[in-house]
Amino acid sequence: MFAQLRGWISSLFTPSQPALDGMRLGPDDNVDNPLMLQFFTWDTLHPTLSWWGHLENEIPSLAIMGFTQLWLPPPNKGENKVREVIIFVEFSTPVKKGRGYDAYDLWDLGTVETRWGGREAYLRACHAARSHGVDVLVDAVLNHKLGADACERFPAIPVNPQNRLEDAGPERIISVTNDVGVDRFRLQRQRWEGLQRLEMEAGALQWHVSIGITRRGQVVSTGSPALAIRAGQSMYVHTELGNYDYLLGVDIDHRHPQVQKDMLDWGVWILQTTGASGFRLDAIKHMDYRFILKFLKHTRNNLQRSNIFAVSEFWSGDLKSIIPYIKICRGATSFFDVPLHMNFHEASKQGSKYDLRRILDNTIVKAFPRDAVTFVDNHDTVKGQSLESWVSTDFKLQAYAIILLRRAGHPCVFYGDLYANEECGDARIEKLLPALIEARKRFAYGRCDDYLLEQSCIGFVRAGDSKHAGCAVVLSNREPGPSHSLRMSVGSENANTTYRPLMHESDATVSVDSEGWGSFSCPANGVQIWVRE
């Protein structure tokens, strides 16, 4: 405990390079703004192609649009069946299930086809991306495993589910699914044999069944209905629920030397095999942060690529909870800006009652602009998902304007907003979002000057640089009615010029005066981008 405290305190006061400043955000010869795309949703599948085949077909157009990074779903074998037949009264439908977050074998990239497709199709898509100047990011699910084949009975002690450090009852005997069926997954048997007996060693793994969680090898603390481990827990995790080491499935103890070696080897192997340029790290608040840092350092050192990209999912809308991790990681990984996403979600719920002047308050992108990967929505925030916090269509374009056109942060676009789909797509967003993406590629450069003048209408101006023109952006959350107008300066270098709108077809123009000022408008509850004619 004291070692943990000393480490955190030391990191809080030691300056370090911001993450994005030292990472590859796209090809070295790219002169335009970098941009990430999350190329999947939770449920969407292509009607005729595998997901990897669909991706390969889309890569040329995505490169032209300006995407420099693709965050792809986990390619590994998972617990859930590839296909399950759902039977109705009159017909049955094949449904692909496992998404890779139910990780079983990280080393198997689809020798048996996963939800997303087979190994060769995945590697072809990765190669196609590289050949078009688009980097691939591997979704690394390193926190847990699922898919064990047999149960074992052994003693455990329940704990308080709201504080896993407190016992809540006497020792009892429970049954836990634990044994790995090596023969069942014989295609990758050589990878499992080295770890097959680890579950017999104290602290190696933690296990979950319907009645709880425990760890083999000795009497340990568990929880009811969620059971936790006293002896097997890492103290270098988030302190939510007392100790948030356990999330789901078979929790991996990253302190174990053989476990570490397997995962460190995998990190190097997966980038070598796929040609990928970095990682999205899943669920890091549940992982020993010392291992995360070791994993990234080992991969970068062994591949002799110090700029390998990494972005971490630390799911919390509370900036104060994330700051210690940002500081202790010291630029080793960037972080998804969940607090900003939550601000967008709240703004979309409140409508005109939300004060747009506060939209960046208590966000990573405001406090640590070069450590933030900004996003509007993702696969977990869709309606009905575990982290549901969907940004409604009434505010989605405004949110995208903020992450795509401002200077701070590294933005990520969601497949579900860009492509037509039944799960979460909206025709108006699909039509207008590409215009915002194009504006980022062509005009979102240089200094950013804010005009936070009204509760329901704000604007900002990008000054441009030596190779790109700038733009003026106005956005509103007011109920339908008259257009807004903000007086903003586009700089004396643009004095006595005319600006035209990009987002909506219109004959309107803005005449900039002799000092570089003009009155720029946008529709109520909408967005407008103005560029010089």
The domain ranges of the chain are 1-25+34-142+258-336, 145-252, 448-532
What is the pLDDT, as a whole number, of residue 3?
Answer: 55
Residue 322 has pLDDT above 60, yes or no: yes
Confidence band, pLDDT 50/70/90 cuts, at residue 264: very high
Instruction: List pLDDT tens digits, range 139-177.
Output: 999 998 888 767 766 666 677 778 877 877 777 776 666
Q: What amino acid positions are annotated as catalytic residues?
A: 282, 313
Which pLDDT belongs to residue 489?
A: 98
- pLDDT category of residue 248 using cuts at 50, 70 and 90: confident
Q: Which fold has domain 145-252?
A: Elongation Factor Tu (Ef-tu); domain 3 (2.40.30)
Q: Is the pLDDT of residue 89 over 90?
A: no
The 10s digit of each residue's pLDDT in 92-121 is: 444 456 798 988 889 999 888 899 999 999
- List the single range of 21-30, 52-61, 290-299 with lowest mean pLDDT: 21-30
Q: Report the C-alpha gap between 463 and 440 in whole angstroms.
A: 13
Which pLDDT does position 250 carry in this prediction? Answer: 73
**pLDDT score at 532:** 96
Average pLDDT, integer, range 57-64: 98
Q: Which amino acid is at 209?
A: V
Class of domain 1-25+34-142+258-336: alpha beta
pLDDT for position 156? 66
Render pLDDT for 422-451 as a digit per residue (tens, 0 to 9).
Answer: 999 999 999 999 999 999 999 999 999 999
CB neighbour list of residue 376: distance below 8 Å, 6 or more residues apart: 341, 344, 391, 396, 399, 400, 403, 413, 414, 417
* Listed residue (523, 527, 355, 532) closest to 455, CA to CA: 355
What topology is assigned to 448-532 in CATH? Immunoglobulin-like (2.60.40)
CA atoms within 13 A on the CB side of 372: 27
Mean pLDDT of the chain: 85
pLDDT at 311 over 80: yes
Q: Output 490 or 506, whichever has higher pLDDT.
A: 490
* Contact (CB, 8 A) for 444 and 404: yes
Give the pLDDT of residue 227: 39
pLDDT confidence band for 10 (50 / 70 / 90): low
Question: For 33-41, what is the mean pLDDT?
Answer: 98
CA torsion sign, 190 to 193 to 196 to 201?
negative
User: What DSSP character marks residue 358?
Assistant: G
CA neighbor of 184 nearest in space, from 142, 236, 148: 148
